[in-house]
Amino acid sequence: MRQFVSLFETESTRDTAVEMGADQSTISRSLGRLEEELGVALFHRQGRRLKVNRFGVLFQRHAIRAIRELEAGQHRLKVLSDPDSGLIRLGFLQSVGLSLLPAVIRLHHGISPDARFELIQAEAARDLYAWLEDDIIDCAVVTPPPAARQSEWLQLRSQQLCLVFPLGHRLATAATPELSDLADEPFIAFASGTDLRPVVDAMLSASGIAPHIAFETSEIETLRGLIAAGLGVGIMPLPEEGTNEHLTYRPLVPEQRRKLGLAWSVQSLHVPAVEAFIRGVTLHGEQI
């Protein structure tokens, strides 16, 4: 394509050969193959000179656009793959958006200040692992992978799960509130399909409790707000960013914790920016 554009300007295989650093015969053969592929002649032959015809004039406009698009694509690939400034597609659970996610990004920006992130939120870990396998995201801040998933995972933190009551609730000051105490309380639950719903359901089921679910929500902040308003009680992780003054958190007995970390697929390591991100978190994860 670039040879044709040069021929359009020089109308000389000799001059184009000099410009492109190729043999004159190579330029002539390339032009012949192009014209054969297009099914039309692009130049009139006048002895050793070429004279562009109307087909050549028309095709030159498209050739210029094609070259510009190719160059733009090459530049974009270079930018995206740069280990210091490339794009990292990072998925995360909605429930970690206020604490662990910012800490992970802050850590990498301390190493590579120009790195860029595309953040993609999910309500359930299964969605994030499916996106990893489908190459929709490069990494994910998520709970450990199911055994069937072919993903790498590095633990970064664990969250303590707590019973949560509105301020002044009778159980908020109980000596040792238990799951069984929730049986007669209106319960604010995580919505079906969210990552924490099966965790909480399993805990309640193991204790023989079928809670009276008053509200369901996929947003952890909404759940906190409903409990703070006195509309029910719930179970959720102890927030690392600080507790709501209108809520009382009581750790579960025996202690229950939720593991969180960074997951990635092997194919993600083929992208320099992503490989640099994973390496940085692996080496310095204790700072998170």
The two structure tokens encoding residue 137: 């995201």
Question: How far is C-alpha 191 from the geometric centre of its chain's CA atoms?
Answer: 23
pTM: 0.73
Percentage of the chain surpassing pLDDT 90?
Answer: 59
Instruction: State yes or no: pLDDT of 260 exceeds 90.
Output: yes
DSSP H or E stretch at residue 235? strand 234-237
Question: What domains can you pick out in the chain, each with its CATH number?
Answer: 2-79 (1.10.10.10), 87-156+260-287 (3.40.190.10), 158-258 (3.40.190.10)
Q: Give the separation between CA 41 and CA 31, rounded to whole angstroms.
A: 9
Rg (CA), the chain: 31
CA atoms within 13 A on the CB side of 208: 2
Question: pLDDT digits over 100-148, tens only?
Answer: 999 999 999 999 999 999 999 998 999 999 999 999 999 999 999 887 6
Instruction: State yes or no: pLDDT of 265 exceeds 80.
Output: yes
Instruction: State yes or no: pLDDT of 150 exceeds 80.
Output: no
Q: Which amino acid is at 113?
A: P
The two structure tokens encoding residue 22: 């190729």
DSSP H or E stretch at residue 153? strand 152-166
Query: Strands 139-142 and 152-166: what pairing?
Result: unpaired
Nearest to residue 201, comparing CAs of 189, 184, 185?
A: 189
